[in-house]
Amino acid sequence: MMQIRPILAALRRHRIATFLIALEIALACAVLCNACFLIVNRIHAMHVVSGVDEKSLAYLVLDGYDRGRTNDLNARIIAGLSAIPGVKGVGVLNTIPFGDNSSINGITIDPARQRYSHEINTYIGDAASLRALNLRLVAGRMPTTDDYRSIANGFVPRDSMVLITRSLADSVWPGENPLGKDFWCIDFHFRVIGVVDHLTIPEPESRAAAGRDFSAFVAATPGNEMGGGYVIQADPRELPRVFREVMLAIPKIAPEVVVDHDGSGLLSDLRERYFLNDRAMVGILLGVIAALMLVTALGIVGLASFWVQQRRKQIGIRRAIGATRGDVLRYFQIENFLIVTMGILFGVLLAYTLNLVLMKAYEVTHLPAAYLVTSAIVLWLLGQLAVLGPALRAAAVPPVVATRSV
């Protein structure tokens, strides 16, 4: 078994080359850790649970109508779209998961309204929209007819009956039963009548992971105060055809309106569109990782090949005094392992430094130690595979050829 001390002595004689390869490995470690961490975070974000029946829903956004006649528009749209074959339901809803027009509000459980503790998104809709969303109730009850009240001042009913998500309930009233609890937003009062499993905010990436499910559904009668947003329910197999017919029917039902094509579409398409940049980011980061691993491997191969060429006499002497091919192979493998280890130790510091920068710039969480361990293992394996070719060539040189080559 080759001793480590002679290997370290040999590395000290090649300080610059050793330092450059170790630095390259350190940079690879730092980038690999954080790139993988970002990829996992983006994939996790793209698989956020919306809480609604996505496969059965489409959303329609209209604009350009007379706000004073919103109630008439709502009636025409609901009647006209409900007549289309395949439509199971049409409801008025102010926004939809992965859509625009987010209603963000600060809330407080302090009756004096002095301390606002949470920021939530409010979905405001009628009974048909709630049926279409198909939320999973985990506690309490769904709104009854009497719970749907008229909207005041263009926001929500003055006293609103609401459903909130489980995560919001656990955060606002930890360890308590949220049913019947009250909270306020400015002059508006809300009372919790039910808790649903999930209902993601319309723009989940606008909030830290812990707050992406901080939503409330407000039972309301739209009237003239709310319109232009309509959720459409149909069988998943017929939904694409139904929505095409909806788009063709709108000019006949309400010729005065303008369809917002960016905000309208199948909910599955809205999700796809919303996470488009995330998928591009994942692809770019995977490309960066692949390129970085290739460059690192080529650097190790190049250095090992150079050192094999430079050490032909040394290899020949070792072979002549009894060193086996396995001894020569292990020498280069141990040498590479030491260089990679030095690079990883420095790379850990770089990885945490880069993570601190990302935490400030993009609000990512702290880098878990598991990513450092995984990256170290990957780099050790990469180093051993990269040095294997040059090491095998060195081990295959006959002693007499090595000594005569000087």
What digits encode the pLDDT tens for the residues 232-245?
Answer: 999 999 999 999 99
pLDDT score at 4: 74
Confidence of residue 2 (pLDDT cuts 50, 70, 90): very low
pLDDT score at 397: 66
pLDDT score at 403: 52
pLDDT score at 405: 45
Segment 388-405 shows an average pLDDT of: 68
Rounded distance, CA 355 to CA 346, Å? 14
Tens-digit pLDDT profile for residues 319-372 = 677 667 777 778 778 888 888 888 899 999 999 888 888 887 776 778 888 998
Write out the chain in H/E/C secondary structure.
CCCHHHHHHHHHCCHHHHHHHHHHHHHHHHHHHHHHHHHHHHHHHHCCCCCCCHHHEEEEEEECCCHHHHHHHHHHHHHHHHCCCCEEEEEEECCCCCCCCCCEEEEECCCCCCCCCEEEEEEEECHHHHHHHCCCEEEECCCCHHHCEECECCCECCEEEEEEEHHHHHHHCCCCCCCCCEEEECCEEEEEEEEECCCCCCCHHHCCHHHCCCEEEEEEECCCCCCCEEEEEECCCCHHHHHHHHHHHHHHHCCCCEECCCCCEEHHHHHHHHCHHHHHHHHHHHHHHHHHHHHHHHHHHHHHHHHHHHCHHHHHHHHHCCCCHHHHHHHHHHHHHHHHHHHHHHHHHHHHHHHHHHHHHHCCCCCCHHHHHHHHHHHHHHHHHHHHHHHHHHHCCCHHHHHHCC
Segment 55-69 shows an average pLDDT of: 93
Confidence of residue 280 (pLDDT cuts 50, 70, 90): very high
Higher pLDDT, 279 or 307: 279
pLDDT score at 205: 86
Residue 161 has pLDDT above 90, yes or no: yes
Higher pLDDT, 118 or 401: 118
pLDDT score at 183: 93
Q: What is the pTM of this model?
A: 0.81
Beta strands 57-63 and 229-234: pairing type? Answer: antiparallel
Tens-digit pLDDT profile for residues 140-152 = 999 999 999 998 7
Higher pLDDT, 382 or 309: 382
Segment 105-133 shows an average pLDDT of: 90
Confidence of residue 114 (pLDDT cuts 50, 70, 90): confident
pLDDT score at 404: 58
pLDDT score at 9: 65
Mean pLDDT of all residues belonging to the chain:
88
Tens-digit pLDDT profile for residues 374-392 = 999 999 998 888 888 877 8
Residue 402 has pLDDT above 70, yes or no: no
Confidence of residue 49 (pLDDT cuts 50, 70, 90): very high
Confidence of residue 406 (pLDDT cuts 50, 70, 90): very low
pLDDT score at 122: 93
Segment 271-280 shows an average pLDDT of: 94
